[in-house]
Amino acid sequence: MNKYSTILFDVDGTLLDFNSTQENALNKVFHNHNYLLNDRIRAIYNEINHGLWQQYEKGMISRDKVIYSRFVKLFQEVGIDGDGIAFEDEYQALLGQGYDLISGAIELLDNLSLTHELYIVTNGVTKTQLSRLRASKIDSYVKNIFVSEATGFQKPMKEYFEYCFKRIPGIEIERTIIVGDSLSSDILGGNNAGIDTCWFNPKEEICTVDVNINYEIKALAQLYDIVK
């Protein structure tokens, strides 16, 4: 019998390379409006975006507040005269059209789907995430997809995972593991939910967050030995 029967996968930074997709979408949407996009503006956007998502993870603001204020704030900061809300809608559409798989992701899902119950747990935007998961074929390997927007909660909240668990038939908490790249949402979320955690850390970063990490991997293929 496998040590784990149910595996919860994060999406961005774990199965899909969000940084690549984001960069392509940003380049296209700024180009479409003839707005300047340089390293300084990218850095300011990333800082604004990261700060808003952190507030969302802590339950301080809504998802809509995250996505519909980031470009408004950016435009104010860098002096762009534009409609940040309409710009966001165009950006989301471009995000939904693109995906770049993390190395080994499909092979891993293809193999593990034969022996384990696989689920997606993500804090992303529902329409965008579902579009990318369909295009990448990831959706064909998992039993269900839980996007925070549709649950009313988000990682790392315990309530988010309780929502998911109620919709996973026959789940055994002690044989469930979450795999993700974010210490603040995936690993802390796993801790809050009382399940084991696997930190996908391809850049071999140092953990600076007070969380319990059961396993750490730098390549997806290393997961096989953990879950079998």
CATH number of the domain that residue 59 is part of:
1.10.150.240
Of 39-43, 79-83, 148-152, the poorest mean pLDDT is in 148-152
**Res. 87 pLDDT band, cuts 50 70 90:** very high
pLDDT digits (tens, 9 = 90+) for 179-226: 999 999 999 999 999 999 999 999 999 999 999 999 999 999 999 999
pLDDT of 1 above 90? no
b/e burial code for range 206-216 (CB count within 10 A of at least 16 → b): eeeeebebebe
Q: Does 149 share its domain with 57?
A: no
Q: Does 92 share its domain with 80?
A: yes
Q: Does 41 share its domain with 105?
A: no
Q: Does 57 share its domain with 164?
A: no
pLDDT of 110 above 90? yes
Domain that holds residue 68: 19-97
CATH number of domain containing 163: 3.40.50.1000
Q: Does 157 share its domain with 217?
A: yes
In 136-212, which ranges are continuous DSSP H helix?
148-151, 158-166, 188-193
Q: Does 135 share its domain with 217?
A: yes
Q: Does 71 share its domain with 123?
A: no
Q: Does 12 share its domain with 109?
A: yes
86, 97, 85, 161: which is closest to 123 by C-alpha? 161
Q: What is the pLDDT of residue 143?
A: 99
Q: Which residues does residue 119 pair with via DSSP β-bridges, in sequence order?
A: 8, 144
- Domain count within the chain: 2
97, 123, 152 - which closes a domain: 97
Strand order in the sheet with 196-200: 144-147, 117-122, 6-9, 176-180, 196-200, 215-217
Q: Does 105 share its domain with 93?
A: no
Q: What is the pLDDT of residue 98?
A: 84
Q: What is the pLDDT of residue 42?
A: 97
The residues annotated as belonging to the active site are 10
pLDDT digits (tens, 9 = 90+) for 174-188: 999 999 999 999 999
Q: Does 93 share its domain with 140?
A: no
Question: Which pairs count as long-range contacts for 77-85, CB under 8 Å and 24+ apart, including other chains?
Answer: 77/44, 77/48, 78/40, 78/41, 78/44, 80/35, 82/33, 82/35
78, 97, 116 - which closes a domain: 97
Domain membership of residue 1 (yes or no) is no
Q: Does 148 share its domain with 204?
A: yes
pTM: 0.91
pLDDT of 104 above 90? yes
Q: What is the pLDDT of residue 20?
A: 93
Q: What is the pLDDT of residue 124?
A: 82
Q: Does 78 share its domain with 113?
A: no
